[in-house]
A and B are shown apart, each in its own frame.
Chain A
Amino acid sequence: MHRPGARWVIPGATLLAVVGSVLWILQAGGYDTARALHALWDGAFGSTYSLVSATLVRATPLLFVGLAVGLAFRAGVLNIGAEGQFLAGATVAVAAGFAVGGWPRLIALPLARLAGAAAGAGWAGLAAWLRRRFGVLEVISTLMLNFIAAYGVSFAVRGPLQEPTHVYPQTAELSAAVRLPLLFDGHRLHLGYVLAVLLAVALWWFLTRTAAGFRVRAVGAGASAARSAGGIDAARTAAWVFVASGALAGLGGASEVTGVTYALYEGISPGYGYSAIAVALLGRLHPVAIIGTSLLFGALEAGAAAMQRDANVPSVLAAVVEALVVLGVLALDHARRGRTD
Chain B
Amino acid sequence: MSAEYTDFLQASVRTATPLALAAYGELVVERSGVINLGLEGAIIAGAFGALVGAGAGSLGAGFALAITAGCAVSVLMAVVVLWLRADAIIAGTAVTMLALGLTGTLYRAWYGAQGAALSVPTLAPVRVAALADVPLFGRALFEQPSVTYLLYVLAVALWWWMRSTHAGLALRATGERPAAAFAAGISPVKVQAMALLFGGAMGGLAGGVLVLAQVGTFAEGLSAGRGFIAIAIVVLGRWSAPGVAGAALLFGAASQLQYVFQSLGWPVPYQLFLALPYVLTLLVLAGTQRRAESPAWLGRPLDDDAR
Contact = CB atoms under 8 A, between A and B. Distances in A.
The answer to whether A and B belong to the same complex is yes
Nearest to B221: A316
Contacts of A324: 98
A144 B282 contact: yes
Interface string A116-134: 0000000000000010011
B3 interface: no
A151 B102 contact: no
A160 to B, nearest CB: 10
A143 B281 CA distance: 11
Interface string B81-109: 00011110111011111101110111011
**Residue from A134, A151, A277, A334 having most chain B Cβ neighbours under 10 A:** A151
Contact of B289 (A135, A321, A333, A337): A135
Interface stretch (B141-149, B172-180, B186-194, B266-274): B266-274
A322 B98 CA distance: 8
A18 B22 CA distance: 29
Interface string A155-167: 1001100000000
Interface residues of B, number: 49
B285 interface: yes
Contact of A134 (B91, B290, B299): B290
A161 B212 CA distance: 39
A195 interface: no
Interface stretch (A23-31, A54-62, A174-182, A290-298): A23-31
Interface residues of A, number: 51
A183 interface: no
Given A319-B98, A333-B86, A154 B289 contact: no
A277 B86 CA distance: 14
B47 interface: no
Interface string A223-238: 0000000000000000
Contact of B235 (A140, A314, A319): A140
B255 to A, nearest CB: 11
A320 interface: yes
B98 A320 contact: yes
B94 A331 contact: no
B225 A274 contact: no
Given A158-B269, A327-B80, A80 B93 contact: yes
A25 B109 CA distance: 10
A11 interface: no
A243 interface: no
B84 A281 contact: no
Interface string B3-29: 000000000000000000000000000
A139 B106 contact: no
Contacts of B184: none
B80 A130 contact: no
A330 B231 contact: no
Contact residues of A: prevailing secondary structure:
helix
A316 B275 contact: no
Interface string A184-213: 000000000000000000000000000000
A144 B87 CA distance: 20
Contacts of A130: 282, 285-286
A148 interface: yes
A320 B220 CA distance: 14
A222 B80 CA distance: 22
A316 B102 CA distance: 8
A281 B93 CA distance: 12
Interface string B126-138: 0000000000000
B94 A144 contact: no
Given A327-B94, A330-B91, A147 B85 contact: no
Contacts of B290: 134-135
A29 B286 contact: no
Contact of A323 (B37, B87, B97): B97
Contacts of A146: 228
Contact of B105 (A144, A316, A334): A316
A221 B91 CA distance: 20
A140 B231 contact: yes
Contacts of A337: 85
Contact of A322 (B85, B90, B97, B108): B97
User: A-B pairs with the 6 shortest C-beta distances?
Assistant: A29-B109, A319-B101, A320-B101, A323-B98, A316-B104, A326-B94
9 contacts: A25-B102, A134-B290, A136-B285, A139-B89, A152-B271, A152-B275, A321-B101, A334-B85, A337-B85
